[in-house]
Amino acid sequence: MEVVRDMILSGSIAADVPIRQDALAAELNVSKIPLREALVRLEQDGLVVSHANRGFFVRGMSASEAEEIYELRLKLEPQAAAQACLVADDKQREEARRLLTELDAAAAAHLPSVGPLNRAFHMALVQPGQRALTAEITGRLHVMADRYVRKHLESRERHVTAASEHQDIFQAWLNRDATAVSRMVGAHLEHTLRDLREELSANEASASEAPARGRKRS
């Protein structure tokens, strides 16, 4: 399933067109049964949708979906990270530091590992809080947010801003300043959502105008 997930998140499998299960199974050298099971799991994660008699499709990206994902993250993640910073042990603090270092390097080099590393870093700030259900739901939201994170960080300017925000959040987390962590994580997510809202809305407007321009030319 991880291979198929990575293909979806990287854009190797296009959105809104049927997933050709025979061809994909052959490419991955697996049978159709485990592939179908993987697609069902990915549907539960919100990355694909199934339609009767049409098969599975990768979910398209949209401003409305980004809005919902980030609104849910804002309800859970700031307080979860704040709680976690108070109880994280030395091993967990060092793991968060390692992930942030790797994330910065991957983002600077525009590597495809940016999405997974961003998710891993944010989850490292949440998981020590010993709130298993909150961590599980937050983790699923991060999987759904992965494509949006990658799109957000395509801009060099945004990468620099995000890296600075991550460093500030991490320092407050190390200092066990729960109030600052909650405030900074919330501001970081809101900043990302504002950028995505503008970019995705503009893309959707351009896409809707294209057919109209085509009809005028004809």
Please give the helix or strand (H or E) that residue 168 lies within, else none.
Answer: helix 156-174
Mean pLDDT of 37-66: 86
| Coil vs helix vs strand at 18 | strand
CATH of domain 63-205: 1.20.120.530
Please give the helix or strand (H or E) that residue 180 lies within, else none.
Answer: helix 178-217
CA contacts within 13 A on the Cβ side of 208:
7
pLDDT surpasses 60 at 213: no
In the chain, which residues fall in CATH 1.20.120.530? 63-205
Question: What is the reported pLDDT for 218?
Answer: 46
CB 47 within 8 A of CB 60: no
In the chain, which residues fall in CATH 1.10.10.10? 2-58
CB 13 within 8 A of CB 19: yes
CB 115 within 8 A of CB 99: no
Report residue 98's pLDDT band, with 50, 70 and 90 as the boundaries: very high
| Helix, strand, coil % in the chain, rounded to nearest 5 | 80, 5, 15
Structure tokens at 4: 């198929």
CATH of domain 2-58: 1.10.10.10
Model's pTM, two decimal places? 0.80
